[in-house]
Amino acid sequence: MFGKKIPSLRRIFQMWLLLFVFASFCITFGLSYLFQTRAAQNTATRQAALHLDYMGNQVNIIEDDLKDLKKDLSDGLIEKAKIFAVLLKYNPSLLHNKKFLRDWSEDAGIKEISIVGKKGVVIEAFPKEFIGTDFNKYDLMHPYLPLIDKKDGVYVEDLRTSYNQNGSVNSLVQFVGVSRLDAPGVIQMGYSAERYANALKTAVADVLADDYVLGKHGFVIVSKDGKIISAGRKELKGLTLADSVWKFVKDMPENTLALKTIDGLPVFLVTRSVNGHLLTAVMPKSDVYAYRNMILSWAALVYILLLTIVYIFLSALLERVVVRGIKKTNTTLEKITRGDLNEKVRVRSNLEFVSLSNGINAMVDALKKAIAEAAARLDKELEFAREIQRATLPNVFPPYPNRNEFDIFASMTAAKEVGGDFYDFFLLGHGGSHVGIVIADVSGKGIPAALFMMSAKTLIKNLSETGMPPAEVFYHANQKLCENNEAGMFVTAFMGILELKTGKFTYVNAGHNPPLIKRADGGFERMTLKPGFMLGAMDSFVYQQEEIFLNGGDTVFLYTDGVTEAQNSRGQLFGDDRLNDLLNKNTDKAPKELLTSVHEAVAGYVAGAEQSDDLTMLALSYNPKTVTVPAEIENLDEVMSFVSGMLQKASATPEVIAKTNIVLDEVFTNICSYAYAPAKGTATVRCAVGGTPAFVSLEFRDSGKPFNPLKKEDPDITADLEDREIGNLGIFMVKQIMDSVEYEYKDGQNVLTLIKYLETTPSSED
């Protein structure tokens, strides 16, 4: 596992200084930005207020002028009405003089004259169509009625619009009324306020904001009664606020700066109401912040320059005062860590380094003494641990001199005095009918790995001896290894169990290197394994086992990654391909010679380089004999001779040999007669002899028609000879002679397996 790269003191100081400089710049620039932004907004607010003050004054002047004009017109009309009342008082005959009314109206600029009687009805008028109008019927005329009984009453009606009979606007008119002096009643006069209307049309407020520039690109909007009457942008003039994008200005708080987006352009707005007019100052955001942006640009350059100078100065100061002394100290410490404990630190640039140098030198002196004492003690402890580890591994070969069904050899060379690899093999089942093999690699090296190795090895062997299949052995071993595994250690492992009678090899893998297998007629190739998790890494993991069948001469080669990951002086690995090529050059060798060849090849490859990992190997060869002949009767003698020879070597009794020949005759004859008929084929007979108690295992294979002889019912041997059915006596006899008979159809072949326990004769050695 690679360690994390640690930065130097100078790099750490520079990083923190750079962070400080950057933070200082951000804070300073941020405060400047905040202050300048607020100043720009305040300036914009004051500027808008000044312009709105000017606009408001202009609006007030215009409104005052219009009010004065309106008052002058009203006063003149009242004066004319009073004069007319005096004329009627002294000349009552003028009341119904049509010509006088017409001429007087034209001379006085009067549009309408209505003379109302004491009942509120017009008794005379110009134009005459108003005669007979009853003021009592019209709400608009009710204010005139109180003047009937007064002597000096006056009523002034506000300006209003008159309409033609078709509903179109006629003109702006104003009416006044005075009490009659000649009799109870009212004199109402009205005139067309064309002068006032013309004054409204030419009022300066309508053009007040036209072409008026606020700042660089700002402008002013003047609206009245919800309608824009003047604006710095001509296209806005005449728009109704409620139907435009400017409708929100009606609800804005006055004299307050607000940021809005109009037609995609951000603008600042300030509004003010003056004499019935709504004035709105519009300033683009870019105008408001233009001066701020210029100030901040120059400020940023100044800040960067100043902070860069500070950064360079402080970095140089650190280098001169601190880093140089640390480099000198580290140079000396490197020599010390390489083993030169006679080196001394001599840095005297300041008081702190003097104290540090003295402390390091004193510590090195103490370390030299402690190392010498510890080395002697550790040598004794490691030697003891090495002897314990060696004693836990089977190291006597051949381990089972009286067993010839298999051959096994294993070796382990630790990378240090003690290692984390281990191997194991042991006989299982009744009479040693099975042999189990294990190879494993514990994470780490040294004493901790060795202790974890011993625990794992003991668990696996003890669980295997209970009769559990390999998958269950690994499951329970994993559960135990996970308990109280505070060090977080784990072990990769492979385990296989070979059934010596049949050659069935059942195996399970826990994250270990895939073994290589050599068939008797081929070379080594890597076994296909189902994935499995390491032991001790995760509890409750369920392992899956697999099985294959070994034939006579097949070899299984197990190893740890110390073989393939052995490195030469250039750091190059021995590798899987080199291992495969080496094994395939030694396919004819027994397990011991095979492992010796691999060990010598690895040692030659590393050429004296330090061993980086434990190097552990185990090889198992299965040695039952096999003969394959054409399925023809004339080959029966060859098959019998093959099997009898093996039985004689095992000291089988003549009776057992004779019974075995009877079985060979029956089974081989049936294969020749029925398996391929009428075609031709071959028959393979595999014979394994060994075990305690000794046994002979016979396996017959043919590729003929599927046929299970065990499905045939046994004949009734208690019946009279003449009543017995013909057939089935041969297979019945085979079942009576052999201790076990099994059949399966596998891979397109009939497989009949027969086992017979031997009755051997005493040998000269016995």
Residue-wise pLDDT for 192-244, tens only, equals: 766 565 655 555 456 677 777 787 888 888 888 888 888 888 888 888 888 88
Q: Note the pLDDT of residue 2.
A: 44
More confident residue, 581 or 100: 581
Confidence of residue 766 (pLDDT cuts 50, 70, 90): very low
Q: Note the pLDDT of residue 706.
A: 92
Predicted confidence (pLDDT) at residue 762 exceeds the cutoff of 70: no
Q: What average pLDDT does range 467-472 have in this prediction?
A: 93
Q: Note the pLDDT of residue 74.
A: 77
Predicted confidence (pLDDT) at residue 365 exceeds the cutoff of 60: yes
Tell me the pLDDT tens digit for each residue of 34-57. 888 888 888 888 887 888 788 778
Q: Note the pLDDT of residue 634.
A: 93
Q: What is the rounded distance in angstroms from the CA atom of residue 533 to the CA atom of residue 456? A: 15
Is 414 within 8 Å of 421 (Cβ atoms)?
yes
Q: Note the pLDDT of residue 765.
A: 41
Collapsing DSSP to helix, strand or coil, 220 comes out as strand
Q: What is the rounded distance in angstroms from the CA atom of residue 420 to the CA atom of residue 449? A: 5
**CA count, 13 A, side-chain hemisphere, 345:** 28
* Burial (0-12, 13-18, 19+ Cβ within 10 Å), 467: exposed
Q: How much is the mean pLDDT over the chain?
A: 82
Tell me the pLDDT tens digit for each residue of 322-362. 766 677 777 777 777 777 767 777 676 677 767 777 777 77
Residue type, 417: E
Question: Which of 383, 432, 428, 378 is CA-nearest to residue 403?
Answer: 432
Q: Note the pLDDT of residue 256.
A: 85
Cis previous bond, 398, omega within 30: yes
Strands (E), 152-217: 154-156, 160-163, 169-179, 186-192
Q: What average pLDDT does range 457-483 have in this prediction?
A: 92
Confidence of residue 764 (pLDDT cuts 50, 70, 90): very low
Q: Note the pLDDT of residue 382.
A: 66
Q: What is the rounded distance in angstroms from the CA atom of residue 502 to the CA atom of residue 687? A: 10
Confidence of residue 692 (pLDDT cuts 50, 70, 90): low
**What tokens appear for 636 in the block?**
């029966």
Q: Note the pLDDT of residue 409.
A: 95
Tell me the pLDDT tens digit for each residue of 398-422. 888 777 778 999 998 876 656 678 8
Most confident range (mean pLDDT) of 345-359, 620-634, 684-698 is: 620-634
Residues whose CB is less than 8 angstroms from the CB of residue 89 and which lie 6 or more positions away in sequence, other chains included:
180, 181, 182
Q: Note the pLDDT of residue 193.
A: 67
| Long-range contacts, stretch 459-467, CB < 8 angstroms, 24+ apart | 460/424, 460/493, 460/495, 461/424, 461/426, 461/436, 464/426, 464/428, 464/436, 464/495, 464/497, 465/426, 465/428, 467/428, 467/429
Alpha helices in 418-571 (DSSP H): 446-464, 470-482, 561-564
**What tokens appear for 315 in the block?**
């970095």
Q: What average pLDDT does range 12-17 have in this prediction?
A: 77
Phi and psi at 412, nearest 5°, equal -145, 130
* Burial (0-12, 13-18, 19+ Cβ within 10 Å), 729: middle
Tell me the pLDDT tens digit for each residue of 530-553. 878 999 988 889 999 999 888 778
DSSP assignment string, 223-255? EETTEEEEESSGGGTT-BGGGSTTGGGGGSPTT
Is 267 within 8 Å of 285 (Cβ atoms)?
yes
Question: Which of 754, 738, 764, 739 is CA-nearest to residue 651?
Answer: 764
Residue type, 327: K
Q: Note the pLDDT of residue 763.
A: 44
Q: What average pLDDT does range 95-100 have in this prediction?
A: 85
Predicted confidence (pLDDT) at residue 167 exceeds the cutoff of 60: no
* Burial (0-12, 13-18, 19+ Cβ within 10 Å), 249: buried
Q: What is the rounded distance in angstroms from the CA atom of residue 661 to the CA atom of residue 684? A: 16
**What tokens appear for 222 in the block?**
């003047």
More confident residue, 480 or 342: 480
C-alpha pair distances (Å), 731 with each of 24, 463, 505, 737: 100, 40, 29, 10
Q: Which of 168-182, 549-563, 683-697, 752-766 has the lowest mean pLDDT?
A: 752-766
Tell me the pLDDT tens digit for each residue of 269-328. 888 888 888 888 888 888 888 888 888 888 888 888 888 888 888 778 777 777 666 777
Confidence of residue 471 (pLDDT cuts 50, 70, 90): very high
Q: Which of 427-441, 491-505, 627-641, 722-736 has the lowest mean pLDDT?
A: 722-736
Q: Where do the domains of the chain lie, and which CATH numbers do they carry? A: 91-200 (3.30.450.20), 343-392 (no CATH), 398-622 (3.60.40.10), 626-757 (3.30.565.10)
Q: Note the pLDDT of residue 169.
A: 46
